[in-house]
């Protein structure tokens, strides 16, 4: 259960993080540090999500009948954290974009808008669970 929700969190945020990582590799100076700080916000949110899910698991009866409530609690955790993440990133992304060269700003703007438009928790490789 936790692995499933953890993977959904990772998959939902992966394209934005990958874009930031790519920008990190080609920027230097203040632009590099600003993008690095954005990635740090994403990573911190992931740690908070995983910690909250572990806490929830620890507080859940190990009886198999408790799986559905655990699923619902994990869903609530990721929904709450994604809202907090959006609120935290919006002003920071706007500041970072203002300091980037046009082509890099456009790339970040496009990917951030795409990330903002996602409202589901789909798995990236759901159609190919074995990676084949």
Q: 80-97: per-residue pLDDT in tens? A: 999 999 999 999 999 999
Query: In the block, which residue shows the tokens 């198999």?
Result: 64
What residue ranges do the domains of the chain occupy? Answer: 2-116
Give residue 128's pLDDT: 64
Provide the pLDDT for residue 71: 92
The span from the CA of 52 to the CA of 71, in Å, is 13
Per-residue pLDDT, 130:
60
N-to-C CA span, the chain: 23
pLDDT digits (tens, 9 = 90+) for 45-61: 999 999 999 999 998 87
Please tell me the pTM assigned to this model.
0.88
Record the tokens describing residue 46, joined without a space. Answer: 């992931």
Give the helix/strand (H/E) hosting 121. none
Q: Which residues of the chain have pLDDT under 70?
A: 64, 66, 127-132
Per-residue H/E/C for 3-70: HHHHHHHHHHHHHHHHHHHHHHHHCCHHHHHHHHHHHHHHHHHHHHHHHHHHHHHHCCCCCHHHHHHH
Residue 18: other Cβ atoms inside 10 A: 11
């Amino acid at each position: 259960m936790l692995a499933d929700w953890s993977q959904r969190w990772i998959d939902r945020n992966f394209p934005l993080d990958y874009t930031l990582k790519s920008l990190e590799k080609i920027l230097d100076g203040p632009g590099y540090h600003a993008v690095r700080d954005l990635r740090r916000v994403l990573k911190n949110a992931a740690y908070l999500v995983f910690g909250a899910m572990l806490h929830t698991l620890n507080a859940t009866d190990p009886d198999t009948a408790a799986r559905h409530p655990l699923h619902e609690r994990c869903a609530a955790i990721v929904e709450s954290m994604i809202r907090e993440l959006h609120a935290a990133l919006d002003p920071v992304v706007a500041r970072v974009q203002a300091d980037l060269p046009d082509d890099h700003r456009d790339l970040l703007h496009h990917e951030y808008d795409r990330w903002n438009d996602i409202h589901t928790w789909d798995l990236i490789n759901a159609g190919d669970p074995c990676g084949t």
